[in-house]
């Protein structure tokens, strides 16, 4: 198979329908995208976006409907067929082998480089240079994947897909793992590439959709509910169409009423997985009844900070005072019992046991309490009752509380975690990326839950890379950079630009300088 460079001028889907046992994943979907055009495909989790893309790539075959490229009907049986017609996909989770170089990763998928007994790595490198120059996507073919930042890996995926001959790119939530700076950079680059390509951009971040796409199609419950020109519609309008109701993300109305200090972190030093000092004398104070946002480019110590607070990572030196008691290097159990709640970063593996039922996950921290067990036998009736009650209160959408939690959507899993943590009545709550990859409806719910708890006097540390989220919810915003808190500013003084500059590690000068793009790191220099 040789990479087809015949330009793809149009991809058309007509009446695509796909049924799975008990679910109508795609319901009579018709779409088209032309060269030089960016089509945004928007929808909540489970709306059928991924299934539809898998149909285009030949992983699934539709029950009915047709696909045509340049007016000619096609039947793809595998992704290779789609590539042969110039259609390629960049998956949300990168498909790269970490201990291979960029060129080797490309060679994996490009059969023309495989000669008898010889693999043409130089040819791969040449191809990568050619493509990366042509599309202004700087990539070093000899770099190992594990050395690259997430943003650079994203570029490698793009270059790889282009090298394989794709001229219609399907990008599945390409910004979900990127920092705000990397996101801006990617969108800028994609904008420059559109003249030669067609792009299907899957996302539920509406500001990105607005910035990049020409047209937008909204999927809900497997059907297209809206088609239109992006320029003519406001994000709020699109959000309402996406969720089926008006969405207004709640905001912290900030009465300025802050309680007594609850958690005081002093000189905290913590080592990372590679043994280097990731937190270097970090200081922070959380008061009762406030939301303290911790903003920063991911990888500046957020993960280690959260781990240390939860007792999951040894503290090298420094103190974590919680109500006057030093919790540094205490066991997770002791910290939980002291009244700390925790919404971990990776909800699928850290927040829940995926194969456990919803009701079992709801007692993950309290199974040993007198409420749920007697003489070390579980009280099933009480566990059921508790689950039913929390399911109602936290609007967890699941067939029953006996359903395996891992089979729920991300938003509902997060609600299960939040229900467990809040129902325990904590004094402080650490929430790490609480709405990452979650649809708007669930996001709205989670935000209002956090603000309600704040009003009840709970102190909340919100670690997030979504500036919108941090600015909407926080009373104060601490910017973390290279394991230190660079500055703490009241939320009312924070702007996107000012935070962006601080997050890049640049000294803050009030008033904030313009233009905002000063915060963008030079391309390719995101990795130190």
Partner 1 sequence: MNKQKVLYGGTVIVGFSLIAALLVALVLLSIGASPLQTYKTILTGPLSDLFGVTEVLVRAVPLLLVGLGIAISFRSGIINIGAEGQIQMGVIASTAVALALPGLPRIYLLPLVLMAGALAGALWGGIAGWLRARLQVNEILSTVMLNYIAAQIYTYLLRGPMLDPNELEMGSGTPQSMRLPDAVILDYLVPGTRLHTGLILALVAAVLVWILLWKTTLGYRMRAAGAGAKAARYAGIPVEKYLVVAMLFAGGFAGLAGAVEVTGVHHRAIEGISSGYGFAGIVVALFGALHPGGIIPSAAFFGVLLIGADMTQRTARVPANMVLVLQGVIILAIVSAQSFLRNPYAQERLLRWLQGLVPAALRSRKGTQP
The interface mask with partner 1, positions 15-54, x = CB under 8 A, is --x-x-xx-------------------------------x
Residue 399 touches partner 1, criterion: CB under 8 A:
yes
How many residues touch partner 1 under the rule CB under 8 A: the total is 40
Phi, psi (deg, nearest 5) at residue 435: -125, 20
How many Å apart are CA 220 and CA 46, to the nearest integer? 8
How many Å apart are CA 435 and CA 412, to the nearest integer? 11
For residue 340, the minimal CB distance to partner 1 (Å) is 10
Residue 63 touches partner 1, criterion: CB under 8 A:
yes
Kindly give, in sequence order, each residue whose CB lies less than 8 Å from that of residue 68, ignoring residues fewer than 6 positions away. 10, 11, 12, 14, 74
Q: What is the DSSP letter of 357?
A: B
For residue 116, the minimal CB distance to partner 1 (Å) is 30
Residue 57 touches partner 1, criterion: CB under 8 A:
no
Question: Helices 180-193 and 150-163, interaxial angle, to 10°?
Answer: 20
Residue 364 touches partner 1, criterion: CB under 8 A:
yes
Phi, psi (deg, nearest 5) at residue 457: 105, 5
Of 113, 112, 4, 11, nearest to 69 by C-alpha is 11
End-to-end CA distance of the chain: 39
The interface mask with partner 1, positions 482-521, x = CB under 8 A, is ----------------------------------------
| Cβ-contact 239, 247 below 8 angstroms | yes
How many Å apart are CA 76 and CA 106, to the nearest integer? 22
For residue 202, the minimal CB distance to partner 1 (Å) is 18
For residue 154, the minimal CB distance to partner 1 (Å) is 24
Residue of 221, 323, 367, 505 that binds partner 1 (CB under 8 A): 367
Residue 433 touches partner 1, criterion: CB under 8 A:
no
For residue 287, the minimal CB distance to partner 1 (Å) is 25
Residue 64 touches partner 1, criterion: CB under 8 A:
yes
The radius of gyration of the chain from alpha carbons, rounded to an integer in Å, stands at 25
Q: What does the angle CA 225 – CA 230 – CA 231 come to, to the nearest 5 degrees?
A: 145
Please, is 21 exposed, middle or buried when counting C-beta atoms within 10 Å of its C-beta (0-12, 13-18, 19+)? exposed
How far CA 428 is from CA of 304, 310, 388, in Å, comes to 18, 11, 25
* Residue placing its CB nearer to partner 1 in the complex, 399 or 511: 399
Q: Which stretch binds partner 1 (CB under 8 A): 60-68, 223-231, 255-263, 444-452?
A: 60-68
Q: Which of residues 304-363 bind partner 1 (CB under 8 A)?
A: 310, 312, 331-333, 335-337, 342, 344, 346, 349-356, 360
* Residue placing its CB nearer to partner 1 in the complex, 70 or 373: 373
In the complex, the residues that contact partner 1 under the rule CB under 8 A are: 17, 19, 21-22, 54, 59-61, 63-64, 310, 312, 331-333, 335-337, 342, 344, 346, 349-356, 360, 364-365, 367-368, 373, 376-378, 380, 399
């Amino acid at each position: 198979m040789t990479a087809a460079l015949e330009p793809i001028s149009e991809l058309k889907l007509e009446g695509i329908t796909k049924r799975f046992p008990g679910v109508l994943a795609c319901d009579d979907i018709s779409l088209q995208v032309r060269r030089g055009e960016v089509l945004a495909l928007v929808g909540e989790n489970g709306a059928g976006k991924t299934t539809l893309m898998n149909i285009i790539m030949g992983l699934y075959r539709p029950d009915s409907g047709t696909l045509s490229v340049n007016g000619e009907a096609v039947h793809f049986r595998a992704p290779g067929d789609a590539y042969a017609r110039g259609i390629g996909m960049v998956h949300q989770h990168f498909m790269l082998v970490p201990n291979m170089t960029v060129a080797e990763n490309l060679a994996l998928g490009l059969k023309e480089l495989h000669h008898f007994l010889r693999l043409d790595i130089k040819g791969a490198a040449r191809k990568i240079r050619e493509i990366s120059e042509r599309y202004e996507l700087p990539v070093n073919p000899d770099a190992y994947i594990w050395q690259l930042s997430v943003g650079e890996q994203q570029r490698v995926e793009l270059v790889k897909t282009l090298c394989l001959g794709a001229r219609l790119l399907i990008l599945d939530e390409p910004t979900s793992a990127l920092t705000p700076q990397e996101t801006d950079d990617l969108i800028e680059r994609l904008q420059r590439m559109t003249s030669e390509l067609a792009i299907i951009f899957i996302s539920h971040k509406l500001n990105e959709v607005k910035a990049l796409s020409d047209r937008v199609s909204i999927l809900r419950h497997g059907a297209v509910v809206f088609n239109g020109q992006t320029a003519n519609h406001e994000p709020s309008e699109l959000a309402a169409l996406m969720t089926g109701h008006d969405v207004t993300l709640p905001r912290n109305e900030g009465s300025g009423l802050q309680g007594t200090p609850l958690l005081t972190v002093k000189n905290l030093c913590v080592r990372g997985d590679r043994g280097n000092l990731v937190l270097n004398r970090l200081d922070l104070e959380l008061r009762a009844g406030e939301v303290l946002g911790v903003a920063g480019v991911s990888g500046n110590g957020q993960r280690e900070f959260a781990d240390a607070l939860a007792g999951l990572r040894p503290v090298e030196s420094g103190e974590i005072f919680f109500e006057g008691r030093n919790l540094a290097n205490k066991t997770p159990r002791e910290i939980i019992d002291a009244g700390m709640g925790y919404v971990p970063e990776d909800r699928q593996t850290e927040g829940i046991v995926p194969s456990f039922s919803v009701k079992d996950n709801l007692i993950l921290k309290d199974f040993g309490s007198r409420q749920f067990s007697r003489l070390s036998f579980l009280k099933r009736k009480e566990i059921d009752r508790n689950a039913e009650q929390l399911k109602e209160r936290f609007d967890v959408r699941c067939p029953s509380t006996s359903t395996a939690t891992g089979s729920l959507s991300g938003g509902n899993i997060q609600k299960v975690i939040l229900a467990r943590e809040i129902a325990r009545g904590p004094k402080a709550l650490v929430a790490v990326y609480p709405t990452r990859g979650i649809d708007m409806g669930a996001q709205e719910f989670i935000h209002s839950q956090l603000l309600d708890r704040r009003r009840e006097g709970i102190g909340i540390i919100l670690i997030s890379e979504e500036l919108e989220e941090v600015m909407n919810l926080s009373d104060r915003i601490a910017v973390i950079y290279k394991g230190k808190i660079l500055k703490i500013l009241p939320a009312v003084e924070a702007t996107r630009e000012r935070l962006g500059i601080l997050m890049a590690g640049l000294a803050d000068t009030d008033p904030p300088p313009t233009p905002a793009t000063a915060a963008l790191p030079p391309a390719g220099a995101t990795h130190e």
